[in-house]
Structure 1
Amino acid sequence: MQVNEIMTPTVQLADPNMTIRDAARRMRADNIGALPVGENDRLIGMVTDRDIVVRAVAEERAAGNTTVREVMSEGICYCFADDDTEGAAQIMAKHQVRRVPVLNRAKRLVGVVALADLSRAEDEVAQDAMKDIAEPSDKPRR
Structure 2
Amino acid sequence: MKVKDIMTSDVCVVDPNQSIAEAAKRMVELDVGLLPVGENDRLVGMISDRDIALRAVAVGKGAETKVRDVMTRDVKYVYEDREVEEAAESLAQQQLRRMPVLDRSKRLVGIISLADIAMDRDVGLSGAALRGISQPGGAHCQSDRAA
Please classify the TM superposition score into its range, dividing by the shorter chain length: 0.7 to 0.9
Residue 121 of structure 1 deviates from its aligned partner by 2.7
Quote the Cα distance in structure 2 between the aligned partners of 1:68 and 1:39.
12
CA-based RMSD: 1.8
Deviation string, structure 1 residues 1-31 (Cα, Å, up to 9, x no partner): 2212221110122111100000000111111
* Structure of higher CA gyration radius: 2
Aligned 8 A contact 2:114 2:126 in 1: no
SS at match of 2:86: helix
* AA at the equivalent of 2:107: R
Structure 2 match to 1:57: 57
Residue 122 of structure 1 deviates from its aligned partner by 1.8
Quote the Cα distance in structure 1 between the aligned partners of 2:13 and 2:35.
6
* AA at the equivalent of 1:33: G
Q: What TM-score results when the alignment is normalised by the length of structure 1?
A: 0.87
Aligned 8 A contact 1:24 1:49 in 2: yes
Q: What TM-score results when the alignment is normalised by the length of structure 2?
A: 0.84
Whether 1:80 aligns to 2:79 is yes
Quote the Cα distance in structure 2 between the aligned partners of 1:113 and 1:93.
13
Quote the Cα distance in structure 1 between the aligned partners of 2:31 and 2:18.
19
SS at match of 2:100: strand
Quote the Cα distance in structure 1 between the aligned partners of 2:5 and 2:27.
24
Deviation string, structure 1 residues 49-95 (Cα, Å, up to 9, x no partner): 111111111112111x2111111111101111121111111111121
SS at match of 1:113: strand
Whether 1:34 aligns to 2:38 is no
SS at match of 1:62: coil
Residue 136 of structure 1 deviates from its aligned partner by 3.8
Residue 125 of structure 1 deviates from its aligned partner by 6.1
* AA at the equivalent of 2:2: Q
Mind listing any 5+ residue stretches in structure 1 that lack a counterpart? none
Q: Alignment length, in residue pairs? A: 137
Aligned 8 A contact 1:96 1:137 in 2: no
* AA at the equivalent of 2:117: L
Q: Percent same amino acid at aligned positions?
A: 47
Structure 2 match to 1:3: 3
Quote the Cα distance in structure 2 between the aligned partners of 1:137 and 1:36.
27
Aligned 8 A contact 2:27 2:33 in 1: yes
